[in-house]
Structure 1
């Protein structure tokens, strides 16, 4: 028997081993990286599809672009919700910051006034010291510190002064009550020898500050003489319907005596 490795009739017959070596090699697949590679490919395909026309991200971007030239009712609901959430968050942050600034300013103002007027010396101390004494006496019977009452008194006067300057009716009422209450406290707690002077000095200070707090306030009645916007004219229209007279006609063959006569 002749071997396959030897040529037969001047032709080479390959063996089975040669045919096996000529087969293409299968690709090498890393079992550890295959799941991650396929997952990244799927994510990339979804990302590209969402940005195509009709995709999710494409529609959201179109809604954002149209919101620049649309009214509030035409804007998408998710844009409204995001805008409201951002606005509320900004307001909360501003209120919190303003509260901290106001608290620090009030504490600094209270400390400064306590240093300069705590002993009752000076022009402001003559007015402020009796108020402190009165509030301290009343705080002994209440569950509140005297410093808190004094700070609240100062804050009330400051806010009513600013609000009255801008024309707030409620702030002006609070300013009047603040002045009357302050004069009463000074009269009650001031020393007997200088009670009248301290109360009069406080009244002058309150009157000078009222120039700003009651700016524009007048006791004259304001009369507005404006022409009426609309005028009413009463008119009665009568319509009478008169009956139409009978129609007269003549023909060439009719007798004129037999024609109907017109009556008025």
Structure 2
């Protein structure tokens, strides 16, 4: 009978332990906790809401900028149309056309040309109107004289059948322009000076002694 030696191994299975598979590995404790998944869900919802809010804000800003740009173009076009109508419209030409015709026909023999006289008439009126609007009395008188001379040129150069109407239109336009020119400016408040006269300290006693 052969002797048997105990090598400390109970069975062949103990000599080669089975390898650990990925399914058998243990996950971290925080992954399996319920509150971790709740926090992750809340953060996801908040991120989605923040992204939606930023997208909506961006749309609002771009829409507002587009509206302002469109409004600016419309206002610019309207301003140009209004300026063109004021400068070259039928009301303005009712006044300027006779004035230009009068200056063209009466500038012969003068050192200044008709073009220079037209610019002088226009610049003089603008300067007088601005100065009169700031309260200059001389400019207000000059504005009245400028209006009278303009009405006289309109009367002389307008057609015979329409000169009364042309002068009436001139007077109406000049009256509208005279509103800021003759607006009452706020006068400065008058300054009052208060004089305080004090009596010397022993004046009452000296007067009483003199009276005795």
TM-score where L is the length of structure 2:
0.47
Higher RCO, Cα 8 Å, sep 6+: 2
TM-score where L is the length of structure 1:
0.38
Higher-helix-fraction structure: 2
